[in-house]
Structure 1
Amino acid sequence: MTVAQSLDQLSYGPYLQRHDGEPLRPDGNYTEVHVDGGEYEGGEATSAKFIESAFTGVTLVDVGLERARFSEVWLSRNRWVGVRIVGGEWLDVSMLDSSLAGVQAYGSRLRRVNFQRCKIDTLNLRGATVADVAFEDCELNELDCAGATLTNVSFPGTAIRNARLSGATCKKVDLRGARELDVADGAGSLRGAVVDGRQLIELAPALAAALGIIVK
């Protein structure tokens, strides 16, 4: 999937209107809106809709975006800390060169989402449905996908550290391009994933533990 690297590459870029800087509000309709810069701390934007919009250079701290819908949204150079997108829906979303920490996204639905060059610490995707998603050249620390359904997910150039996969379902998950692969829990749930020979050797202790194999 080709990902726009600048606003002028977006088909809806010419129609974007600058956000007025007011706090994001519950049930808000943000269509063709460009949120550029600024810091939003606290507050709720539950069930808000972001359609053909863009976020650039925005900091969100402890903002509630539960059940919010992101459709054709482009995000670049953002910083999200403690943001809650629980039960949300992301469709055709790109996030570039951003930093995320402590994001709660359990029970969410992500489809055709691309993360590029992002640093992501402690992402909770428990019970989420994740399909056609790519993490490209990212730092992915403390990924929790317990009970999630992962379909056609790839990690080219990404370092995956301390991932938790207990009870996850993997379908066409391609891990071969990951430059690091560390599974802390639930290695047995990698059934259906594709790894290369080097990764298989690295995963051997976790797979043995998951299968109850004692190595002496």
Structure 2
Amino acid sequence: MSRAVPDQLTDLPYAELLSPHTGALRSDERYDTVLFDGGEHTDESAAGATFLECAFTGVALSGVKLRQARFNEVWVQAGRWVACDLSDTEWQDAAFSGGVLAGVAAHGSALRRVVFRGCKLEAVNLRAAVLRDVVFEDCLLRDVDFGEAKLTGVSFPGSTLEEVRLRGATLSKVDLRDAARLGLPDGHQGLRGAVINSTQLLELAPQFAHALGITVQDR
């Protein structure tokens, strides 16, 4: 699944409608066509908030609580989101470009038609999340946990996966063929429903053999 993602703020269809945001984030607030430009938000709460046709450019979030927030038609560029609580959030038609998500709790979240491009995801908890038509393009995924998650129509073109866990995940039409590297320490059994290429199959063969109790030994 490929989806065009605007490179510039001015390319957004709602760019001319955006109004600048000032002050702290607030829980249960409705943010409609709002521009969050630069700045840092630390230990604030926007739990239950709704973000509709909003843009985040160069925004740093640290320890921000966004549990059960909703993001629809949201564009995030060069953001740095660290130790944020994104659990049980809903994302639809959103895009992350050139940013960092580190130490983020996003378990139980629902992502539909979301694109991550040129991003770094490190220590991100996506356990029991539901991802449908999600693209990780040219990203680094390190210590990302998809345990018990449901992935449908997800692809990883040009992305590097390191210590990515899939144990207990349910995969359907998940395309790993164009991933730059597959580092799956314990989730090879969760690959049922994924598509890989022949080179990746050879790289994963020792893990498959171990899971099946097969000893491979040359005389």
- The one-character-per-residue Cα deviations of 1:84-107 (angstroms, maximum 9, x if unpaired) are 110000000000010111111000
Q: Say if 1:133 and 1:154, in contact at 8 Å, map to a contact too.
A: yes
Question: Partner of 2:159 in structure 1?
Answer: 158
Q: CA RMSD in A?
A: 0.8
State the 4+ residue runs in structure 1 displaced beyond 3 angstroms.
none
Q: CA deviation at 1:121?
A: 0.6
Structure 1 residue matching 2:190: 3-state secondary structure: helix
2:176 & 2:145 partners in 1: Cα distance?
A: 16
- Residue identity matched to 1:3: V
- The one-character-per-residue Cα deviations of 1:151-207 (angstroms, maximum 9, x if unpaired) are 000000000011111100000000001001010112111011000011111111222
Please give the residue correspondences for 1:22-171 in structure 2 after superposition, counting only pairs within 5 Å: 22-171=23-172
Question: Partner of 2:13 in structure 1?
Answer: 11
Give the TM-score taking structure 2 as reference length: 0.96
- Residue identity matched to 2:74: V
1:75 & 1:82 partners in 2: Cα distance?
A: 17
- The one-character-per-residue Cα deviations of 1:126-152 (angstroms, maximum 9, x if unpaired) are 000000000000111011000000000
Question: Partner of 1:2 in structure 2?
Answer: 4
Where does the alignment leave 5 or more consecutive residues of structure 1 unmatched? none
Where does the alignment leave 5 or more consecutive residues of structure 2 unmatched? none
Q: CA deviation at 1:215?
A: 2.9
Give the TM-score taking structure 1 as reference length: 0.97
- The one-character-per-residue Cα deviations of 1:100-126 (angstroms, maximum 9, x if unpaired) are 111110000000000000011111110
- Residue identity matched to 1:83: C
1:103 & 1:110 partners in 2: Cα distance?
A: 15
Question: Partner of 2:190 in structure 1?
Answer: 189
1:212 & 1:69 partners in 2: Cα distance?
A: 45
- The one-character-per-residue Cα deviations of 1:19-56 (angstroms, maximum 9, x if unpaired) are 01x11111011110000000111021110000000000
Question: Partner of 1:198 in structure 2?
Answer: 199
Q: CA deviation at 1:210?
A: 2.6
1:159 & 1:185 partners in 2: Cα distance?
A: 16
- Residue identity matched to 1:18: P
Q: CA deviation at 1:209?
A: 2.6
Which structure has the highest strand share of the two? 1
1:58 & 1:75 partners in 2: Cα distance?
A: 8
- Residue identity matched to 1:12: Y
1:170 & 1:95 partners in 2: Cα distance?
A: 23
